[in-house]
Structure 1
Amino acid sequence: MAEERVPVRVGDRVLALTHLDKPWWPGFSKRDALRYYTAVTPVLVPLLADRPASFVRAPDGVAGDRFVAKHVPPGAPEWVPRMTLEGKEGERQQVVVDDPATLMWAVNLGCVEFHVPQWRGDPDRHDRLVLDLDPGPGVDVIGCCAVALRLREIVAAEDGFGELRAVVSGSKGLHLYADCDALAEEPAVAAARRIAERLAEERPETVTAVMAKDRRAGRVFIDWSQNRSAKTTCSPYSLRLAHPDAPSVACPISWDEAEAAHEPEELRFTPDQALERLDAGA
């Protein structure tokens, strides 16, 4: 049987969508993923624009194989934006999700998660700082919230950074972002490390800034290294493959929500919940 191809116009591009009824999670199909990404396009594309994207592809959904894709895939349309980067193995081209058609093209390929660096256009001009809070054994996202609330105070006292914003990673922890103005890689890494180590010194029983996994039990690890130009974090509003039962979303939360939450389930958001929050202006 010939593969069904459904033509869809996105802006001035026509895409041929395929395998729309393929289940990506129980009760959530590729069609549902495309609908979700269509709905969040106005907020997601500006977050991805001018940043080289790394994708977590899972063409057969959460139960199938998954892999990280950085290079522009063979057969990519000429109109797909791309950026040339220097890597350990020489130059490579990566997709830049600058427009709705590129986003839909990527999802149609089975790109479920969208990861980007902390810079736009130039890897030595970071426009934001990130603190990636990863809960160790015996800790959950509620423990991360307690750490995040103190980090908010610390970052507020730092020069050169905007207000810290909290995003539930959609997996286990939190991503915290603060805007900055064209910060080079090394100063960005140094600032994040300084902030992380300050809190680890304040709260050695519950926080670590050391990468060694044997130091993480009962603590929240503040991963400052995510500010390296070669590293990426999952974008807000991306779907996540973290749970086998249903998709979760990397979802922004308010500081009031971070302070009030008592159970991890309060901070796990489905695509429908993420869209409801957007509609409500959350």
Structure 2
Amino acid sequence: MSVSPERQAVEIEGHRLALTHLDRVLFPASGHTKAQVLQYYARIAPVMVAHTADRPASFVRAPEGPGGQSWVAKNPPGGKPRWVRVVPVEHREGVTEQVVIDTTAALVAMANLGAYEVHVPQWTATAGPDGHDRLVLDLDPGPGADLVVCCRVAQRLRQLLDDDGLTAHAVVSGSKGLHLYAPVHAASGRAAGGYAKELAARMMGEHPGLVVVSMARVERRGKVLIDWSQNASAKTTAAPYTVRLREGAPGVAAPVTWDEVAACRDPDELAFTPEQVLDRAETYGDLLAPLTGDATRARLP
């Protein structure tokens, strides 16, 4: 996909899209425009869509970038093309329709509407909320801690998961922390969340001065929060490869190798621009490919 300033009509996978406001600068610190973000999504889609396909998506919408108004949206954005797939999802407040990002065209169409940040649950629409197929642990550094500390915590969590027969894969969140994923056989949100909570408690028992499981900020200074709650069926996590809406240059939720995790001594070492993530995908392929297959899935203990 090639775009020119302000507006252009393009065809993606047989669907015509009118891309607008292409010269809008979304990230003033780095100069990234909307056109560059759309180009990133069009090029990363072959690896990203495998991790969003069949999962009801929610979005952080910020049409003018992170410096403007932003909000979380579960309902499809106004102007959604009719060919973009939606699925019904039951929430406490009722049933809503949510977009499924299962094609390059759908991903670009949503970004074109200002839905730049994609979040998905750990279950698919086909399996339903009782069919979680991956476990996630969100490592979030409190004041005085950083990504380097998260990497140390992640290494030990990897060992604990391995002891339980689960294989962990690391993703820098594109913000401050780190996500750990493990493919699992179909499990309920209650079972996945219960195991993740118990694992986080084990880690805190080993390293009470380093790890916390409470959301209370007063308890998080100098420590890493292991957020196990994102395994609940109602919760979502920033999708692998999504752009993150943060001040400064755009962050990306980017897969990293365990060698990179072990070697990290500075948070900037694992902070990647969209262009760098595209280069990494070309070099490494999809480091998260095991999450999308069946051969590596393990049962929760």
TM-score range for the pair, normalised by the shorter chain length: over 0.9
Aligned length: 276
1:76 is displaced (CA, Å) by 2.2
**Aligned mate of 1:147, from 133, 153, 159:** 153
Which blocks of at least 5 consecutive residues in structure 2 are unaligned?
A: 1-5, 286-301
1:101 is displaced (CA, Å) by 1.1
Deviations 1:161-191 (A, max 9, x none): 3x10000001010000000011111110111
1:267 is displaced (CA, Å) by 1.1
Structure 2 CA distance, aligned partners of 1:106 and 1:14? 13
**Aligned mate of 1:83, from 84, 87, 102:** 87
Are 2:22 and 1:15 aligned?
A: no
Give the match for residue 56 of structure 1.
60
Give the match for residue 253 of structure 1.
256
**Aligned mate of 2:216, from 204, 212, 223:** 212
- 1:96 partner amino acid: V
Percent identity (aligned): 51
Deviations 1:11-36 (A, max 9, x none): 11111111111111121100000110
Give the match for residue 106 of structure 1.
110
Identify which range, 5-14 or 71-80, moves more after superposition. 71-80
Give the match for residue 267 of structure 1.
270
Which blocks of at least 5 consecutive residues in structure 1 are unaligned?
A: none
Structure 2 CA distance, aligned partners of 1:95 and 1:73? 9
Structure 2 CA distance, aligned partners of 1:106 and 1:9? 15
Structure 2 CA distance, aligned partners of 1:270 and 1:156? 31
**Aligned mate of 2:162, from 138, 145, 156:** 156
1:212 is displaced (CA, Å) by 2.2
After superposition, the CA RMSD in angstroms is 1.1
Structure 1 CA distance, aligned partners of 2:280 and 2:82? 36
Give the match for residue 280 of structure 1.
283
Contact 2:124 2:131 in 1 (8 A): yes
Identify which range, 210-219 or 191-200, moves more after superposition. 210-219
Contact 2:196 2:228 in 1 (8 A): yes
Structure 1 CA distance, aligned partners of 2:82 and 2:274? 31
- 1:249 partner amino acid: V
Structure 2 CA distance, aligned partners of 1:146 and 1:194? 19
SS of the residue 1:280 aligns to: helix
**Aligned mate of 1:178, from 171, 177, 182:** 182
The correspondence of residues 178-197 of structure 1 with structure 2, limited to 5 A, is: 178-197=182-201
1:62 is displaced (CA, Å) by 2.2
Contact 2:7 2:22 in 1 (8 A): no
- 2:222 partner amino acid: G
1:215 is displaced (CA, Å) by 1.3
**Aligned mate of 1:43, from 42, 47, 70:** 47
The correspondence of residues 227-242 of structure 1 with structure 2, limited to 5 A, is: 227-242=231-246
SS of the residue 1:179 aligns to: strand
1:59 is displaced (CA, Å) by 0.6
Deviations 1:190-220 (A, max 9, x none): 1101111000000001011222222111111
Q: What TM-score, normalized by structure 1, do the two folds share?
A: 0.95
Q: What TM-score, normalized by structure 2, do the two folds share?
A: 0.89
